[in-house]
Amino acid sequence: MTVTTLRRIDENRLEVPKDYKPGMRTSGIIYADRILEGALESGSIEQVANVATLPGIVGASMAMPDVHTGYGFPIGGVAAFDINEGVISPGGVGYDINCGVRLLRSNLKREFLLPRMKDLVNVLYNEIPSGVGSKGKIRLDSAEAEKVLLKGAGWAVERGFGEPTDLEKIESGGCLHGADPSLISKKAYDRGGAQQGTLGSGNHFLEVQYVDQIYDEKAANVLGLFKDQVTVMVHTGSRGFGHQVCTDFLEVMSRAVQKYGIVLPDRELACAPFSSPEARDYFASMKAAANYAWANRQCLMHWTRETFMSMLKLSPGELGMSLIYDVAHNVAKVEEHTVDGQKRKLVVHRKGSTRAFPPGHAELPDVYRELGQPVLIPGDMGRASFVLLGTERAMSETFGSTCHGAGRLLSRHQAIRQARGRAIWREMEDRGIIVKSAGRETLAEEMSEAYKDISNVVDVVHNAGISKKVARLRPMGVIKG
């Protein structure tokens, strides 16, 4: 099957027709302009079609412009299911449950930090635990781990890692209620016990950036952003804990498929009716992992702020480092959406996609209620990241969703092969970006050429009206796992 079987709806959307493959209950929609259409993998198109076969799907099976092939659902996938007739699928959330991004603003300007950048990156690298299997400064016994899973970022704030006001600027207040720690396996607890407050590996990062372009001055002012301002972006998730939760429940869901007679085009779509005991257990466990991730990013933000103050010898007021927002990428939520003129409760799966709620939405904090939800889109370590806002059009077209990043062009193995013989860190330094990582292979896997151009991806969602550009951020220093 090739891209030629798709139908172009407009300059920013392609349709995967309902007759693309047998069993599709609805069509698919892929957000892609003519540039990104050429980068579409046949595998990710197939996965969009596969998701469209799942019971109880409402609206289209969607993929954002950063789409690439994932486990079951494509990464960049969005799909909503009726809470009575539909299903929930771990493949629609992913292994790294609540992998997400938070953005910090500061009072600092780029020119102040530039001569200190190399030293700052070295100190941050020493203070922020990163790398495969990294262990942090926190050790969780079983009682404390349960509190993390129930309270999320609130647990971290209670322990002195941040301020209560931070919670107002985190999606869902940094906690999904209804988590059940008793459902979590010993293996998941063991994997998560020493990884709270760690960055991890792969595409996870802590990046010191500066604001190099503002598209919407009024919105930027509300967010506290200004030209040449230093910002910090943190990208990580639930680490080995969330990975194990997903692994455990894929086995449960594989049995549920047989039990409930669900016919699937791909076993990676293992799922269960949302009303079933299996689904309830997964949903409660997924919430626990999401809360672990929010606590994780909260701790990392706190240590980042402390590192800036101690290394640069600044007071909290002089630094002025505070949270702009924190968004989840890999999560399923029960939300109310208007479908065909009627309000319905749906299980919205966002896998490698970002919530993009519009101005006035009840779930937004008061400070952003009139503005709309901040949307944080990280790019690759060599180009740029973007701040956008959610829109009414996203609410009506994509269940309030947009893209989550640049999206891979090359697999990790392909990137390593292509980088052979190159010193990626030196190439980055020649471009004025200081990079520090746990290993050479990580930098090879994450080099810019391994990703789509973030500017193309963001232009699609902006031009399609499902989120609108506010500011562009350029990297100055990057810590990779």
Q: Nearest CA to 433 among 376, 472, 479, 387?
A: 479
Contact 346, 334 (CB under 8 A): yes
Rounded to whole angstroms, how far apart are CA atoms 259 and 29? 31
Radius of gyration of the chain from its Cα atoms, rounded to whole angstroms:
21
Q: Does residue 26 sit in helix, strand or coil?
A: coil
Q: Nearest CA to 354 among 324, 386, 331?
A: 331
The DSSP annotation for 352-388 comes to S-EE-PPTT-TTS-GGGTTT--EEEE---TTS-EEEE
Rounded to whole angstroms, how far apart are CA atoms 404 and 235? 11
Which amino acid makes up residue 232? V
**434-437 vs 467-480, strand pairing mode:** parallel
Token pair belonging to 41: 């993998």
The burial class, CB within 10 Å (0-12 / 13-18 / 19+), for 222 is middle
Would you call 404 a catalytic residue per the annotation? yes
412's torsion region: left (phi>0), alpha (psi -120 to 50) or beta? Answer: alpha
Give residue for tokens 């500066």: 210
Token pair belonging to 220: 């930027």
Rounded to whole angstroms, how far apart are CA atoms 138 and 326? 22
- Tally of residues, the chain: 481
Q: Nearest CA to 18 among 4, 8, 6?
A: 6
Q: Hey, how many other C-beta atoms are within 10 angstroms of the C-beta on 364? A: 20
Q: Nearest CA to 394 among 6, 17, 62, 47?
A: 62
Q: How far apart are the first and last CA of the chain?
A: 37
Q: Nearest CA to 142 among 98, 195, 182?
A: 182
Rounded to whole angstroms, how far apart are CA atoms 133 and 131? 6
Q: Nearest CA to 11 among 31, 40, 27?
A: 31
Catalytic residue selected from 204, 235, 404, 462: 404
Q: Nearest CA to 232 among 212, 205, 259?
A: 205
Partnered with residue 202 across adjacent β-strands are none
Question: Which residues are known catalytic residues?
Answer: 404
